[in-house]
Structure 1
Amino acid sequence: MDRPPGWSVRLKLTLSYAGLVMLAGSLLIAVAWVFALRWLPKRNDPDAVIRAHPGAMVIMTGPTRSQLMTGFAPAAAIALAFLLLLGLIGGWLLAGRMLAPLTRITDAARGATSGSLSHRVALEGKQDEFRELADSFDAMLGRLEAHVAEQQRFAANASHELRTPLAITQTLLDAARNDEGRDTVQLIDRLRVVNTRAIDLTEALLVLSRANQGTFQRGGVDLSLVAEEAAETMLPLAEKQGIVVETAGEVATAVGSQALLQQLGTNLLHNAIVHNLPGRGRVWVRTAVSPEGVELSVENTGEVLTPESVSTLTEPFQRGTERIYGDQAGVGLGLAIVKSIAVAHGGSVALTPRTAGGLCVTVRLPAAPQAALVSVAVSH
């Protein structure tokens, strides 16, 4: 934003300090002047009588008011000039010292606007308003730097994942061109599989972007119904894998987007079925209400996981410490989408490895107020 040039804050503070010093000095001189005039006679009368209080008289001989004016006024002017000079110099130095932390914060902000997010203000000393501002600014820079790094890493991973089906498609088309006798039916089937995966990945990226932006309508959503619908949707896949899915729990109403929370539940259940023990695995889906809000937990059997590998599961295109590639189930965004949707709704996601193997994912969301609960009950 273009702004017209103006006075600096340091100059304004300097003038304010100098004005305050001048005002205090002028008031002090005025008080002294009024006090002196009260006890001096109007003319040079050696027999002038001044009454100090009833019943008492004092006879004074000395300077008159005109003589005081002649001697006092120049001294007062010199004193005021000295106070003005002292106020300007002292105010300038004092303002510069007080604004030094603000200058460092401004330099860090300018560096951030130019793309340098690694610089920190790091003010020393005890806590005060400037240091609180500097600490908050450093924390903001840290979060911004981490967010930018995450976005760059996500863009690189997404580009790689999107390039894989395109490269496979290009290879299949080149092979079909060079081999005129190739079975086109088989080629079409393989192209359809590759294209379906590319579409799934693109839709997952759109859902993730929508959740991160937080631009969605909110209403009362019963997580128990979300769990039931997700179980019905994933039932064919669970039967194919030989996985038993159990749902239980109480009515747990949150405020949010029905579509996004349904996507959250479906992703959790899909992840629990895919990363399980084929033919003998189990999945438990539960909802609950706690003092902190409402919960949706999905627990599944599976391989033994370490806390280190679990900590990376909500990162895009990650499974433990290995990347998700095109020949594996899913697109590597299931739990990343779950985390983004939960955070966009003001909630959190906790991942806990099971001792016997497998994973327990618990999503905690703020509970809906009473008005939203009534509207959900009426709609049902």
Structure 2
Amino acid sequence: MRRPAPRRSGRRSLSIHGRLFLGFGGALGVCGALMVAIIYVGMRFVPTYDLTRTVDVPAGSVPPQVCTPPGALPSHPGNIPCPAPAEGVKAGSPADITTKEEVWSTVLTFSVGGVLLVMVLGLGAGWVLSKRLLAPLHTISEAAARAADGNLRDRIGAAGPEDELKQLADTFDGMLGRLEESFAAHQRFAANASHELLTPLATTRTLLQLAGDDPTGEELTELVPMLWETNERNIHVVRALLDLAAADRAPFDPEPVDLSALAERAAAERAGQAASYGIRLEAETEPDCEVAGNTTLLRQLLLNLLDNALTHNLPAGGSVHLSVHREEGAGGDEGVVIEVDNTGPQVDRAVLERLFEPFYRVRARVSSDRSGHGLGLAIVRSVATAHRGTVAATANPGGGLTVRVDLPATP
């Protein structure tokens, strides 16, 4: 039975793609602002500027004048006193910037230094951010390695926002859970199948030993019916196993099958068995209940449902109700529903899912000498899955079981 998907919380979190985009975008913006600040501070406060305007006078246009230093007598009548240095004017030094070429050289120096610093900081921030965001991948990888070694019990249990990585971790946990259940079911299947086949074989060996120990052969007449019954039971189990294997490997057949007519014929085939058990069998069908599939497998599905309902019923005075009708699904598509409702003892809700496991039987439900091999509902599930359908069982409040099979209807 397909399990419903877990509901997501109403708070919508940012995806890992968006977080990476915003993270690296923010880092780029910070690094750009840092680079501008480095260039501005360096150009504003580090060098000393001496950008006084100088005028070039062509040679010969003005007669040369010789100035006399302050406090000295003029050596020539045309000499003028040398001007005193103005207050606030710094004396020149090799670190001063006095030309445009020196300005561009300083800009280039600080730009290269800023780029190198920003690159180091950006790489460091990107490394830390990517490692933090992609850390769940390492955990998922470790869980996958443990699962490859056969450990299916450990879970990742990722915490944090509902981004792609957490969804991947949750999906991986769900896959591990289904694998663990599947392997456990297969182990139970192997153990139950071995027990189911070994018991009749051991009985046959005992009967043959008894017949061999009797030299007169008188007991052989009494043992032959028991041998025949034991052999028939082995044949039934092997046939059921073959039916289960055929249902699992059956390809999807697109031919339309009228389930209403098929259900009526199946009910007619089991009417005599129901009468011998003292059980009232009713069939209620609607017209135009067609599905695409294999007629033989769908007939087997209906017969197995009826056999299960008749076998696990009241000793006498019980009832079985078979219904086939069309019903609109949750997605708006129409489907065909098969429901088999039977009376019987109370069924524990905890074992409903295990009823579809091969060879699983709830012995408390059988209150008469009727018996089955425990493969009926397992074949029902395999046939329903092969026809793109689902099957579920519900315990009735008054006792008994209701098995529902949903199949997609033909247009």
Whether the aligned pair in 2 keeps the contact of 1:317 and 1:323 (CA below 8 Å) is no
Q: Within 2, Cα distance between the matches of 1:255 and 1:63?
A: 92
Give, in angstroms, the shift of residue 47 of structure 1: 6.3
Greater share of helix: 1
**Aligned partner (choices 143, 156, 160) of residue 195 of structure 2:** 160
| Partner SS state of residue 356, structure 2 | coil
Pick from 153, 175, 182 the counterpart of residue 140 of structure 1: 175
CA distance in 1, matches of 2:291, 2:351: 26
Q: Helix, strand or coil: the match of 1:127? A: coil
The residue correspondences of 1:55-204 to structure 2 (distance < 5 A) are 63-182=98-217, 183-204=219-240
- Determine what percentage of the aligned residue pairs are the same residue: 41
Residues 108-138 of structure 1 show CA distances to partners (whole Å, capped at 9, x for unaligned) of 1111111111111111222222112111111
Corresponding residue for residue 346 of structure 1: 389
Q: Secondary structure at the match of 2:134?
A: helix
In structure 2, distance between residues paired with 1:152 and 1:320: 18
Q: Give the deviation of 1:45 after TM superposition.
A: 7.7
Offset from partner CA, 1:145-165 (integer Å, 9 cap, x none): 112112211221111111111
**Unmatched 5+ residue regions in structure 1?**
1-12, 37-43, 49-61, 371-380
What is the CA-CA distance between 1:181 and the residue it aligns to? 2.6
Q: How many residues are treated as equivalent by the alignment?
A: 327
1:285 Cα shift?
1.9
Deviation of residue 263 (structure 1)? 0.9
Tell me the distance in 2 between the aligned counterparts of 1:201 and 1:353: 29
Q: Distance in 2 between matches of 1:323 and 1:300?
A: 12
Match of 1:253 among 290, 299, 307: 290
Which ranges in structure 2 are unaligned for 5 or more consecutive residues?
Answer: 1-19, 44-51, 57-96, 330-334
Distance 1:149 1:173, change over 3 A: same
The separation in 2 between residues aligned to 1:112 and 1:79, in whole angstroms, is 49
What amino acid is aligned across from residue 268 of structure 2 in structure 1? E
Match of 1:219? Answer: 255
Cα deviation for residue 264 of structure 1 reads 0.9
Q: 1:127 to 1:244 in 2, by over 3 A?
A: closer
Amino acid at match of 1:176: A
Q: Is the 8 A contact 1:304 1:354 kept in 2?
A: no
Bigger Cα Rg? 2
Matches of 1:233 and 1:266, distance apart in 2: 8
- Does the 8 A contact of 1:122 with 1:138 survive in 2? yes
Q: Deviations over 1:138-186 (max 9, x none)?
A: 1121122112112211221111111111211222222223323334454
Question: Secondary structure at 1:119's aligned position in 2?
Answer: coil
Q: Hey, what's the Cα distance between the residues in 2 that align with 1:197 and 1:185?
A: 20
| Aligned-residue offset at 1:214 | 5.6
Contact 2:346–2:395 (CA<8 Å) still a contact in 1?
A: no
AA in 1 matched with 2:269: T
Larger CA deviation: 70-79 vs 144-153: 70-79
- Contact in 1 for aligned 2:204/2:230 (Cα 8 Å): yes
Deviation at 1:102, TM superposition (A): 1.0
Q: Is the 8 A contact 1:268 1:335 kept in 2?
A: yes
| Partner residue in 1 for 2:328 | 291
Measure how far apart 1:309 and its partner are: 7.4
Question: What amino acid is the match of 2:308?
Answer: N
Structure 1 letter corresponding to 2:407: L
Distance, in Å, in 1 between the alignment partners of 2:397 and 2:239 is: 31
What does the per-residue CA deviation read over 1:70-93, in whole Å, with 9 as the maximum and x for residues that have no partner? 322222222222222223333222
Change (3 A) 1:279 1:80: closer
TM-score (norm 2): 0.68
Preserved contact between residue 349 and residue 361 of structure 1 (Cα < 8 Å): yes
Tell me which amino acid in the other structure corresponds to 2:243: V
> Cα 1:213–1:100, aligned 2, differ >3 Å: closer, same or farther?
farther
